[in-house]
Amino acid sequence: MIESIQIKLLPEEVSDLVLIKKRLALEVGHNDFVFRWKKRSIDARKKRILINATFEVAKSESEFTPLKGFQPAKKLKGTVHIIGAGPAGLFAALRCIEFGLKPIVIERGKDVRARRRDLAKLNKEQIVNPESNYCFGEGGAGTYSDGKLYTRSKKRGDVDKTLALFVEFGAPKDILIDAHPHIGTNKLPQIIVDIREKILLHGGEVRFESKLTDIEIVSGKVSRIQINSEKWENVEELVLATGHSARDIFDLLHRHHIKLYAKPFALGVRVEHLQEFIDKIQYHGRVNDAFLPPSSYSLVTQVANKGVFSFCMCPGGIIAPCATEQEEVVTNGWSPSKRNNPYSNSGIVVTVSPDDFENSKDPMVCLDFQKSVERACWEAAGKTQEVPAQCLKDFIDRKVSKSFPRSSYQPGIVSVDLNTVLPKMIADRLRKAFLDFDKKMKGFVSNDAVLHAPESRTSSPIQIPRDRESFAHIEIKNLYPCAEGAGYAGGIISAAIDGMKVVEKIAEKSEQKIA
Ligand SMILES: Cc1cc2nc3c(=O)[nH]c(=O)nc-3n(C[C@H](O)[C@H](O)[C@H](O)COP(=O)(O)OP(=O)(O)OC[C@H]3O[C@@H](n4cnc5c(N)ncnc54)[C@H](O)[C@@H]3O)c2cc1C
């Protein structure tokens, strides 16, 4: 029988297996057992930092349940077109193969390696390729990210299956036990390549530089799709996993009078501190400690009836230019697996809701607002990929910063009073929220921290509604709005889970047809 045992360890004790066995033996009452890690998290609330460690203890290794990996069907029959090769699209394709369905993945961007060259151009020459950037291309928006793999999803089975698949495709096993697992930008691309190769090996198709440009609807179903404004092809089932930045897809659906709703999202700035400073606060002065990972934070407050919160915090990370068009600027963050850059960055964002606008019933109302802020920031910083920036204390004092301590944002920053660029409803709340955060993390507000604007692609500003039971669009029977772009996921893990869930619904439907 497997027993689950929780103990507390000091950070320096975590890799001492002899000591761990002794401590577990005290709990078990004998020495005749094997053990493996189940979960670990850092408790840094008090000066004496502890690791909450949970182990599984059994009589022999064979008692431990092996990871349930990828289980391909022998034969594929019936096709599913999947638009988008982000986490949702790729995990949907894997699940298709498990259910004996042939996935055809259609991706507007380039393969993960070719994509890297476009990112270099974006960083160094300020050229945005609208088909290949930090949001578009193989692996989707999550490929060149921090690769944080935590989710608010409470469905442990789904999360565990997804993490197990990541491990099967090369992610470190630590992600199975860490409370806040992450992979890192340097490791994600190879994992994506391995997933693609597995899809191809088992009879799926993956096409790059292929953009969905139109659909034909006959009798309440999508009958054909058009690729790159040229070729049309027939479809049986269509999974739309195009992410929150595929604005042309929202336009396309709207043009076809397919129901869409505006949905709340969040918008603000990305703040950058020195990682050492964040460690000092979070680890009670313990910096450069070999036994502790670069620390993170999670902040939340309410200002004038709206949530203001930290988003996608990247310890030891870099701020990335995430625009998908030339005439806009967007920030987000990434980190390598070791999170060993000297900077820490995080989005600090304010909830935006359709009700904030007069035309709240217009499905495009939040998207239009998002676009207008991205464009205003682009104009304010000189119409390049440089972003408007301000030291944090100066932002609160409404003073244009005279100089900056540093910035990891490669295309460059331009000093601007962000209070004059960001909409008042955002700027006013951010100033108050920062003062609250400064109480929670002393020193958070200073001119050693730099704000970069905007952080705007937090989640989709549009919902593509689907039926609760079938997961198909409420009006179009074989169209499956999926994951982040449709408003059903936020982040890599939940997007991957939603991709798999949608395919399970399609498989259920085809089984019903056969029966
Ligand atoms: C820099 C950055 C860092 C991030 N860090 C993290 C993190 O650490 N942890 C985390 O959980 N999340 C992170 N995210 C968010 C995460 O990447 C997304 O939540 C996730 O990728 C959403 O998955 P998805 O499959 O729904 O959509 P996406 O990943 O956006 O994938 C959609 C795909 O569809 C393709 N596509 C779009 N339109 C078309 C079309 N017309 N035809 C064909 N293909 C099309 C796109 O090219 C893209 O590849 C980060 C995002 C960015 C940009």
Percent of the chain with pLDDT over 70: 99
CATH of range 79-260+464-514; options 3.50.50.60, 3.30.465.10, 2.40.37.20, 3.40.50.300: 3.50.50.60
Side-chain half-sphere exposure of 7, counting CA atoms within 13 A: 23
> In the predicted model, what is the mean pLDDT of residues 260-282?
97
Residue 511 has pLDDT above 80, yes or no: no
> In the predicted model, what is the mean pLDDT of residues 343-347?
97
| Higher pLDDT, residue 150 or 327 | 327
Helix (H, G, I), strand (E, B) or coil at 145: coil
Q: In this predicted structure, what is the pLDDT of residue 513?
A: 64
Long-range Cβ pairs for the range 13-17 (8 Å, 24+): 13/51, 14/40, 14/51, 14/53, 14/291
Helix (H, G, I), strand (E, B) or coil at 40: strand
What does the mean pLDDT of the chain come to?
95
Q: In this predicted structure, what is the pLDDT of residue 155?
A: 77
Tokens for 485, please give them. Answer: 């772009």
Residue 274 has pLDDT above 90, yes or no: yes
Mutate to test the pocket of ligand 1, among 345, 484, 494 (most ligand atoms within 8 A of CB): 484
Please classify residue 481 by burial: count the beta carbons closer than 10 Å to its beta carbon, then call 0-12 exposed, 13-18 middle and 19+ buried: buried
Which residues pair with residue 186 across a beta bridge?
none
pLDDT band at 1; cut points 50, 70, 90: confident
Q: Which residues line ligand 1 (CB under 6 A)?
A: 83-89, 106-109, 134-137, 140-142, 145-148, 211-212, 241-243, 246, 249, 312, 320, 322, 332, 334, 483-485, 489-492, 495
Q: In this predicted structure, what is the pLDDT of residue 514?
A: 56
Residue 417 has pLDDT above 80, yes or no: yes
How many angstroms is it from 241 CA to the middle of ligand 1? 9
Q: In this predicted structure, what is the pLDDT of residue 352?
A: 98
Tokens for 199, please give them. Answer: 């899809």
Q: In this predicted structure, what is the pLDDT of residue 512?
A: 67
Residue 391 has pLDDT above 70, yes or no: yes
Output the residue whose Cα is nearest ligand 1's atom 49: 140
Q: In this predicted structure, what is the pLDDT of residue 457?
A: 97
How many angstroms is it from 355 CA to the middle of ligand 1? 27
Per domain, the residue ranges of the chain are 3-63, 79-260+464-514, 262-455
pLDDT band at 366; cut points 50, 70, 90: very high
Question: What ranges in 457-491 are assigned the alpha helix state H?
Answer: 483-486
> In the predicted model, what is the mean pLDDT of residues 439-451?
97
* Gap between the Cα atoms of 212 and 223, Å rounded: 14
Q: Is the dihedral of CA 432, 435, 441, 445 positive or negative?
A: positive
pLDDT band at 214; cut points 50, 70, 90: very high
* Gap between the Cα atoms of 103 and 204, Å rounded: 5
How many angstroms is it from 182 CA to the middle of ligand 1? 16
- Cβ proximity of 266 and 349 under 8 Å: yes
pLDDT digits (tens, 9 = 90+) for 107-150: 999 999 999 999 999 999 999 999 999 999 999 998 988 888 98
Q: In this predicted structure, what is the pLDDT of residue 54?
A: 97
Q: In this predicted structure, what is the pLDDT of residue 156?
A: 75
Look up the CATH architecture of domain 3-63.
2-Layer Sandwich (3.30)
